[in-house]
């Protein structure tokens, strides 16, 4: 009977964790109170240490390109992108705030909304048509044409 080495078990654990984080990131697109970007980044971190194939697969997914990839590529977010995320979150949290009598849940709603707003406030705001300088780390297919790349 063949046993797995510690490295093999470690890689399996990272693949499983990466898959769980990716799934939670996808759920974050549907559920506004669940963050998408941190889970996608955690999935990438797990996959980069365990599977090149899965790492590349995540980078080729639309969810990555719309969230993490776009933010990394342009080194910031537009006001519209920030509001598209923050408005549904705040609507849901306000509903949660008024739908409950529990002070802990009300406090949690305010804390979650405040934290998410603070994080987005700290992300650099860019104009929609801002100048693009491609990152040398991005695959060529993700770099925009006409920006000096070939």
Per residue in 17-72, pLDDT tens? 999 998 988 888 787 667 777 788 888 888 888 888 888 888 888 777 777 776 77
The answer for 145, left when phi > 0, alpha when psi is -120 to 50, beta otherwise, is beta
The pLDDT value given to residue 32? 67
Q: Provide mean pLDDT across the span 126-146.
A: 53
The pLDDT value given to residue 2? 65
The least confident of 20-29, 44-53, 91-100, 129-138 is 129-138
Q: Cβ(11)–Cβ(17) under 8 Å? A: no
CA geometry: angle 87, 92, 95, nearest 5 deg: 125
Q: Which residue has the tokens 């770099």?
A: 143
What are the domain boundaries of the chain? 12-74, 77-128
Name the pTM for this structure.
0.56
């Amino acid at each position: 009977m063949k046993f797995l080495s510690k490295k093999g078990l470690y890689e399996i654990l990272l693949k499983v964790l990466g898959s769980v984080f990716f799934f939670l990131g996808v759920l974050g697109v549907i559920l506004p109170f669940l963050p998408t970007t941190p889970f996608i980044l955690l999935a990438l971190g797990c996959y980069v240490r365990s599977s090149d194939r899965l790492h590349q697969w995540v980078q080729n997914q639309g969810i990555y390109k719309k969230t993490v990839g776009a933010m990394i590529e342009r080194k910031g977010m537009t006001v519209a992108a920030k509001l598209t995320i923050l408005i549904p979150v705040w609507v849901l949290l306000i509903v949660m705030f008024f739908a409950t009598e529990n002070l802990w849940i009300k406090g949690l709603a305010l804390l979650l909304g405040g934290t998410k707003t603070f994080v987005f406030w700290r992300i650099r705001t860019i104009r929609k048509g801002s100048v693009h300088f491609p990152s040398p780390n991005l695959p060529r297919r993700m770099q925009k044409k006409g920006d000096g790349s070939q």
